[in-house]
Amino acid sequence: MLAKKGLAQQKRYDEIDNAPEERERGITINTAHVEYETEKRHYAHVDCPGHADYVKNMITGAAQMDGAILVVSAADGPMPQTREHILLARQVGVPYIVVFLNKADMVDDPELMELVEMEV
């Protein structure tokens, strides 16, 4: 909406990752920031790595957040580092976490989907 008003530049999801390796592999290695403002609020979206080897980068990004969106694959369920990310987000003071179940179209069994939801 802000781009349509001329107040911001629109970015696609694949434009957020800065490093060529991130774009080629479709993963996040370093945190990436996208910032914009409305008349009432300043927003900063931080794309943090999900891999356990990059938890330090995640902490750096999370320390600045008012809320987080945790993306979990419905097909795979929570990864071992998922609980750690939630714990770290809480420890650095992130007050709100929204969970997004990705790849839900790959889960045909409603009971399996419910189990993943309950585990998260």
**Taking residues 114-120, what's their average pLDDT?**
90
pLDDT recorded at residue 29: 53
φ, ψ at 37 (rounded to 5°): -135, 150
* 41-64 residue pLDDT tens: 777 776 666 555 556 656 666 666
Residue 77 has pLDDT above 60, yes or no: yes
* Percentage of the chain modeled with pLDDT above 70: 62
Annotated domain spans of the chain: 1-47, 65-120
Structure tokens at 25: 């592999």
SS3 annotation, 16-32: CCCCHHHHHHCCCCCCE
Q: Does domain 65-120 have CATH number 3.40.50.300?
A: yes
